[in-house]
Amino acid sequence: YWGYNSISFFAPHAPYASDGTPESALPEFVEMVERLHAHGLEVVLDVVVNHTVEGEESGPHCGLRGLDDAAYYRIGDDGRYDNITGTGNALDLTKPAALELALGSLRHWASLGVDGFRFDLASVLGRGPSGDFEPDGPFFEAVADDPQLAELRLIAEPWDVGVGGYRLGEYPDDWSEWNDRYRDDARRFWRSEWHALDGFARRVSGSADIFGDRSPWASINFVTAHDGFTLRDLVSYEQRHNTANGEDNRDGHAENLSWNTGHEGDTGDPAIRRLRDRRTRSFLASLFLSRGTPMLLAGDELRRTQWGNNNAYAHDSEVSWVDWSQRTIALTRFVRFLVDLRHRLPLEEEPAWFGSDGRPSDLRGGGHSFATLHGRGADAILAIWNGGHEDLLIHTPAPAGVTRWHRLLDTTYEVSHPMEVKPGGVVRSHGFSVQVLGAQP
């Protein structure tokens, strides 16, 4: 359940505590962070320092407006709030009071042990006095100069809803950014769009066309997030089903770049269910085989569904809960395997691209299949991608130092079967599948 409306940037949500009281929320939060650290997990806090609960000018006086709204909010020449967040108001971090409020809250959470922050609608934070986005603006400079904050993981949702708010690839070098172009290009490729090939190959390779010389880890790669469909719904629905939200199914994105695999919603058809499972594994494999930082939506490893609801933020019910008792053992094991496989991948350099004939290719002109070669010699890994409906025969490249390829993964199956092929040999690639071959010297 992630419905929110910020009223205090310093206080954890009391109902998250075991007894639902404010007195328990903070110490239990600290204990949670400590336990996660003890198990080798970092904590990145999703923070909303771009707006408050007070809404538009006619909204309630329960916070900053009661103090001095002109010292905190973006206000236009007409005296109205600059609603670049879609919530009625937006903080103006060029103003000293607003900037210190945001920085103070971040320092507070850092003192409690969090390892980083993901900033909701982060472009708001970089809007300068003229309203333009400034990657070297006061907020970004203050964070970079703060010894408590500068070493943390800093992740931007690189847009807001105002004019000129979409700024993917323009944040400071030491920030990471949600890469929605990865999401969209992956969805297009895995629903078999002919002209998606080049874009998807660039996303798999680290999105240098977006981030330039920055580290590939600047790209937060994702297919699904708390906004939109879950992964199970992405392969099961083409239309949003948001009637339960009470807005006559008008809310949420109408275009999701999804394909229902032949039937809208749940079905007992075994062929459709098998293909949905294959496409699910291929989406997951894409995330973990791509250069960049993979982000997995909680519950996707369990095949969680929201029954086609792509805007479930306000639901505190089975629609948005993660039911751990309903986990799908086979898929959970598959995700664990992908995590282990990723640790073996040579992702430091961009991969080489090959066509289905085994020859180097720039992948221009469209298509459904290609291969990426990662690393060299005995460390080489070959990934074969087939986003089309048909099975294909793919010629494997023959790089120096490789005498044989052996299969590590085939998303056609829950459990991959062993297979070996000589370099230059032919591999059958099933539709909507990913294969990964490892080199033998």
Cα–Cα distance, 237 to 226 (Å, whole number): 17
Do 89 and 55 contact (CB within 8 A), yes or no?
Answer: yes
Q: How far is CA 145 from the centre of its chain?
A: 28
**DSSP conformation class of 109:** H
Mode of pairing for the β-strands spanning 426-429 and 392-395 = antiparallel
157 is catalytic: yes
Question: Distance (Å, rounded) from C-alpha 373 to C-alpha 158?
Answer: 30
Spot the catalytic one: 120, 160, 184, 233.
120
CA 326 vs CA 67, 234, 296, 329, 331: distances in Å: 48, 19, 18, 9, 12
Structure tokens at 150: 């500068």
CA 254 remoteness from chain centre: 19
Residue from 157, 160, 233, 300 carrying the catalytic annotation: 157
CA-CA distance, 59 to 391, in Å (whole number)?
58
| Cβ contact 335:342 at 8 Å | no
Closest alpha carbon to 391 in 431, 426, 440:
431
The pair of structure tokens assigned to 78 is 């007409």
Hey, which bits of 160-276 come out as E strands?
Answer: 176-179, 219-221
- 391 flagged as catalytic: no
Burial degree of 364 (CB within 10 A; 0-12, 13-18, 19+): exposed
Q: Extract the tokens encoding 228.
A: 């939109």
Residue carrying the six token digits 């992964």: 231
Nearest to 166 by CA among 153, 157, 174: 157
Query: Which DSSP letter does residue 118 get?
Result: E
Which of the residues are catalytic?
120, 157
